[in-house]
Amino acid sequence: MSNKLLKVAIVGTGMIANAGHIPAWKNLKDDVEIIAVSDMLEERA
- DSSP output for the chain: --SSPEEEEEE--SHHIIIIIHHHHHHTTTTEEEEEEE-SSGGG-
The pLDDT, as a whole number, for residue 30 is 94
The pLDDT, as a whole number, for residue 3 is 75
What digits encode the pLDDT tens for the residues 6-39? Answer: 999 999 999 999 999 999 999 999 999 999 999 9
